[in-house]
Amino acid sequence: MKKKLFVGNLSWKATEETLKPVFASFGTVVSIKIITDHTGRSKGFGFVEMETAEEAQNAILGLNEKLHLDRNMRVSLAQERTERPAGERRESRGGFGGGNYGGGGASGKTGGYRNRDNNSW
């Protein structure tokens, strides 16, 4: 049974090609995916799928907190993503116009602009 590993604290220099031989020394690597942002830059974590649970466990024991390029990797079993029920929204984090961060524009009827009718703010 294939097992997916979470690999965190990756070097910005890490690529799928540099990770493959590191994990292959513990067994068959089925796939490697480094997560990137919209510009293509690494977010510093990724996933490695190993052929068996035993190989995955050996990789965790052998590689967790081990140096790869210029950082100590954090390797653990990946947790299954839980789907939100339909219609359920993410918890608000505040931000513009919400939370404890203020927001919105100027207050009052004029919206912060000079009122032409009575020449006031």
What is the CATH number for 68?
A: 3.30.70.330
Task: Please provide residue 101's backbone torsions phi and psi, each rounded to the nearest 5 degrees.
Answer: -105, 10
- The per-residue pLDDT for 80 is 83
In a domain, residue 15? The reply is yes
Give me the number of domains the chain comprises: 1
Overall average pLDDT of the 3-23 stretch: 95
Q: Residue 78 pLDDT > 90, yes or no?
A: yes
Positive or negative torsion for Cα 64, 66, 61, 22: positive
Higher pLDDT, 113 or 26: 26
Is the pTM value of this prediction over 0.75? Answer: no
- Percent above pLDDT 70 for the chain: 70
Structure tokens at 54: 């035993």
Backbone angles phi, psi at 75, to 5 degrees: -120, 125
